[in-house]
Structure 1
Amino acid sequence: MAGMSDGLSVAGRRVSGVMDYLSIPTAAGTFDAIAAGPADGRPVLLLHGFPEAAISWEYQVAVLGDRGFRAVAPDQRGYSPGVRPEQAAEYGVDELVGDVLAIAEALEWSRFDLVGHDWGGAVAWWTASEHPERLRTLTAVSTPHPGALSHALRTDEDQQMRSQYMRDWRSSSTERQMLANNAEALRRMFEWKVPPSRVDEYVRRLSEPGALTAALNWYRANRPRATIEKVSVPTLYVWSTEDVALGSTAALETENWVTGPYSFQMLEDVSHWIPEEVPEVLTALLLEHLSAF
């Protein structure tokens, strides 16, 4: 544990409790993480997306810890300086799912609840599909089941247009474009829905040498050839109507990819940045889901 602080303020919301700062050693390298709650609390792992970091979950981690859970949110592969391989091929789904299991092993968690947003949601879906025995529950935020998204990309023109950015960002010029003019393009992604101080922190981190390339390598890595299976673990899927990247076709199709208990929550007039735009709403849904299983 690198340090701790008593309480925190997230977007003007004061949360009680102690936040821990962890270094989690694995074979791939050392992951930085934030954590809260008793060491013997029910374990919850929270995975962030692009272009964020573990602190996107700061509010949820603090509240979960205050409720007696042991909540841990790592800076994922490429975002943790200690796990920043140079080759794009080292950011494939197999490696990302492997990181989830390696972090759980390092924390001595045999079974845990998994939560993911954006890219973290995709990794969470893959983990639930391939290793259901390790998960107590799954919560996916914004990101539909990859099978549902794949179907939408084949059949829905709207989703095809929304996902064009994923192809564009594979260009070698993307880093320069995103960081130009004080990272104007990077800042604009957050649609003024994330506190400016938090956006400043994301920009600071991604401006470090190699950091943005590592984050973009998630898009440049070769995608897995295997077809993802349906998910059997109890699943909560939270999607918002103003998500610019992920449309309703894949969101509504996701229920067909879950065989276990399933809850779909649609948030009206909320953007893609659910964990930080409406942290209380998401946390209440998460706690309700966790308490049911």
Structure 2
Amino acid sequence: MTTTSVLPDIGIDLREGYADVGDQSLHYVEAGDGPLLVLLHGFPEFWFGWRKQIAPLAEAGFRVVAPDTRGYNLSSKPEGFEAYGVDLLAADIRDLIGGLGAGSAHLVGHDWGGSIAWTVAMNHPEVVERLAILNAAHPRRLSEGLHHPNQLRKSWYFFFFAVPGLPEDVVHLRDWHFFRHFLSEAQPPYTDEEIERYVEAWSQPGASSGMINYYRASVRQSQKEAVAKLRPLAAETLVIWGERDSYLGPDLAEPSRDDVPNLDRVERLPEASHWVHHDEAERVNELLIDFFAQPGKGS
């Protein structure tokens, strides 16, 4: 189903639609034509987090689709943390790719979108051509990292969000100050107009619980069982990592070659924060275009 509404000017005409994924619906925007390239946002963003990537990637010859993942903005927001397990989130993206009429796609994920992208590539390798990850640790690396005090301190919010009820009350205070804080390390800072678009997305009915439920589902999952399910990725993979990340240590950037045997490389950007696609958008765009334009599977 395709709809038309007032969308922000990001330098290219956008098309807007909804895709049925199982019993849920994902809202998305798209631009361009060519091989399908899906962009998965992180917390607390929505499709608009890719505003600096959509036009350059579309102009480079890709059909770029940026969905709001389950629980965010205009996508479905089922109740209960059980509906936000990463395997369900990954199945949404598999179904989205199929619903868009493609057998497979290039996949880019940042933060939670990166966690989903890792899982899509593991659980549904047939739908992933090439994979690019921005500041999102491979699940094994993240599990290992959470055993170390330094990373536990950085990841304190994981456990705060796991508390029933309280986080929803806190994040609304002072005009969404808590969520605004997560975006505050980006350079240049997000503009007031950009922040207001985030506030509009956060204010959608059920969105704050949907976003927080990602963390609740993750914390309640047995890490031993989650790690036991991991399998090597088939997809060629590029990792881009902003090293001034306040939430994930730089040691988490490098996945094991046993887990990612087709790792192209880890590209570290020393001056970029967790919001690497904002801080160094031009460099990130160059890296993505070069990586996805290489001849290979599906070319």
With normalisation by structure 2, the TM-score equals 0.89
Matches within 5 A, 1:204-283: 204-221=200-217, 222-223=220-221, 225-226=225-226, 227=228, 228-255=230-257, 257-283=259-285
Cα distance in 2 for partners of 1:163, 1:284 equals: 30
Q: Give the 3-state SS of the residue equivalent to 1:86 in structure 2.
A: coil
Cα distance in 1 for partners of 2:201, 2:5 equals: 20
Q: Which runs of 5+ in 2 are unaligned?
A: none
Q: Give the 3-state SS of the residue equivalent to 1:232 in structure 2.
A: coil
Answer whether contact 2:73 2:204 (CA < 8 A) is retained: no
C-alpha displacement of 1:7: 9.3
Deviation per CA, 1:214-242: give whole Å up to 9, x if none.
Answer: 11011111436342123231101011111
Cα distance in 2 for partners of 1:21, 1:59 equals: 17
Deviation per CA, 1:178-206: give whole Å up to 9, x if none.
Answer: 21111122212111523332222112221
Answer whether contact 1:78 1:211 (CA < 8 A) is retained: yes
Paired residues, number: 284
Tell me which of 160, 184, 194 is aligned to 1:191: 184
Cα distance in 2 for partners of 1:201, 1:31 equals: 18
Cα distance in 2 for partners of 1:188, 1:80 equals: 19
Cα distance in 1 for partners of 2:4, 2:178 equals: 33
Q: Give the 3-state SS of the residue equivalent to 2:18 in structure 1.
A: strand
Partner residue in 2 for 1:12:
none
2:154 corresponds to 1:162: yes
C-alpha displacement of 1:278: 2.1
Identity in percent: 30
Cα distance in 2 for partners of 1:188, 1:63 equals: 28
Answer whether contact 2:135 2:242 (CA < 8 A) is retained: yes
Answer whether contact 1:37 1:68 (CA < 8 A) is retained: yes
Cα distance in 2 for partners of 1:200, 1:5 equals: 15
Q: Which runs of 5+ in 1 are unaligned?
A: 10-14
Answer whether contact 2:60 2:289 (CA < 8 A) is retained: no
Report which stretch shifted further, 257-266 or 194-203: 194-203
Tell me which of 88, 96, 111 is aligned to 1:95: 88
C-alpha displacement of 1:118: 0.5
Answer whether contact 2:41 2:113 (CA < 8 A) is retained: yes
Residue 3 of structure 1 aligns with an amino acid whose one-letter code is: T
Flag the 1:206–1:4 CA change in 2: closer, same or farther, 3 A. closer
Residue 165 of structure 1 aligns with an amino acid whose one-letter code is: Y
Answer whether contact 1:93 1:223 (CA < 8 A) is retained: no
Tell me which of 7, 32, 35 is aligned to 1:37: 32
Residue 136 of structure 1 aligns with an amino acid whose one-letter code is: E
Cα distance in 2 for partners of 1:82, 1:268 equals: 34
